[in-house]
Structure 1
Amino acid sequence: MTDQRPAPAAGLRERKKRRTRDALLRAALLLFVSQGYERTTVDEITDTVEVSQRTFFRYFANKEEVAFAVQDVVESHFLAALRTRPASEAPLEAMRNAVLASWDTVEEAISDVVPVDLYMRSYRLIESTPALLAVHLRRSTELEEEIARLIAAREGLDLDADPRPRVAVAAFSGVMRVTGRLWGQGEDTSVAAIRRMTVAYLDQIGPALAEDWRRAPVAG
């Protein structure tokens, strides 16, 4: 019988590639948060890791891709959590529980690549850098569509015929954007802080949509 196991050398090459990519990512994020995204050059990133520009572009198309690399992981983590929510949960309940579960396990999801604190600082950088914020909003729109399709599939709906999945996702995503922006303006940059804010703001979707706000005071 032929041995189908991969050659050890191939495994070593893949681990080396992963280490190089992770080192470039960490170096870039550290430079971005310490001196600003726009003031950081690719040369500075590669000099920090002691590799060539050619090596950088083997892993990343540009600085923008580096800036959002960990965000990609976090968003994929949320989508995976949403796919596992029980069918018995209503759409907003499923999204709420998925995002809270994601915050509970985000450190495990990204700590092999970058420290969670560095990710949180880079998220604040995205919120405060006009060029990155514009990209973030575009990406958020694309993510909303993906979530809406997932919700429609959960509920057995035709997304193009039934507006409810997109409306529910728009409400959820709007709250998440407000939460992220306000968290980014605060002093506590911890995961626990943004999780607490997420709970508080998502819990206000129902009251905010009440027919008469004067008769439905916000719980203190």
Structure 2
Amino acid sequence: MTDQRPASAPPAGLRERKKQRTRDALLRAALLLFIAQGYEETTVDEIADAVDVSQRTFFRYFANKEEVAFAVQDLVESHFVAALHSRPPAEGPFEAMRSAVLAAWDTVEEAISDLVPLDLYMRSYRLIESTPALLAVHLRRSTELEERIARLIAEREGLDVDVDPRPRVAVAAFTGVMRVTGRLWGQGEDTSVAAIRRMTEVYLDQIGPALAADWRRPV
């Protein structure tokens, strides 16, 4: 059978790599523009112009600015969920979530390095935490992630999440701490991974004392 592909057409693998490079370039350009001049002040045309492509090309890869703003965050959240999946079955729910999030921060650079530099991601995460429109989306997305984690925890423990409330309660406490640390880290001067990891560890370790019957007793 003869190959009917036009002689000028590049191989499929080359086309896919070119598409991936274009998408990655649009993503990096968008994040840099969001950081430099603000999310709401940046237009799709400006993002496309920065990569020397058309607006139509932008929309081949992203539905809107919101999607591009959270593209790396999607990857980071999936990285955490994968870390949680890999925790030993013997670990309790809080121990597994705590270990998974700290391990995810330890390896986040490796997880995203093919897409964006770590510093660009951390600056974009800080932007999310400080931009009302993005923060509202982040909170909505966090609710969806909570449910995903709760079902994973229920599966680990052999529970029915729709009958036993404990997985959702445990995950609500955990993700509540994540939101607090993200907000406080975003307001601070140290925007490093080490800073948010350190704060995450300290605050997670306060869940038990915070639930104690009498806070006035020495911890």
TM-score, L = length of structure 2: 0.95
Deviation at 1:214, TM superposition (A): 0.7
Where do 1:1-220 residues align within 5 Å?
A: 9-217=11-219
Distance in 2 (CA, whole Å) between partners of 1:9 and 1:190 is 41
Deviation at 1:211, TM superposition (A): 0.9
Q: Which amino acid aligns with 1:149?
A: R
Distance in 2 (CA, whole Å) between partners of 1:216 and 1:173 is 26
Distance in 2 (CA, whole Å) between partners of 1:97 and 1:21 is 33
1:9-47 CA distance string (max 9 Å, x none) = 111111101100000000000000010000000000000
CA RMSD of aligned residues (A): 1.1
Deviation at 1:96, TM superposition (A): 0.3
1:54-105 CA distance string (max 9 Å, x none) = 1100000000000000000000000000001000000000000000000010
| Larger mean Cα displacement after TM superposition, 68-77 or 120-129 | 120-129
Distance in 2 (CA, whole Å) between partners of 1:38 and 1:118 is 18
Aligned positions, number: 211
4+ long deviations beyond 3 Å: none
Unaligned runs of 5+ in 1: 1-7
Deviation at 1:159, TM superposition (A): 0.5
1:43 touches 1:53 (CA, 8 Å); kept in 2?
yes
Partner secondary structure for residue 46 of structure 1: helix
TM-score, L = length of structure 1: 0.94
Deviation at 1:125, TM superposition (A): 0.7
1:111-137 CA distance string (max 9 Å, x none) = 111111111111111111111111000
Partner secondary structure for residue 213 of structure 1: coil
Distance in 2 (CA, whole Å) between partners of 1:100 and 1:13 is 37
Distance in 2 (CA, whole Å) between partners of 1:101 and 1:12 is 35
Distance in 2 (CA, whole Å) between partners of 1:22 and 1:183 is 27
Partner secondary structure for residue 159 of structure 1: coil
Deviation at 1:216, TM superposition (A): 3.6
Match of 2:6 in 1: none
Q: Which amino acid aligns with 2:177?
A: V
Identity of aligned residues (%): 86
Distance in 2 (CA, whole Å) between partners of 1:23 and 1:63 is 14
1:174-209 CA distance string (max 9 Å, x none) = 001000000000011110110000111001001101
Partner secondary structure for residue 11 of structure 2: helix
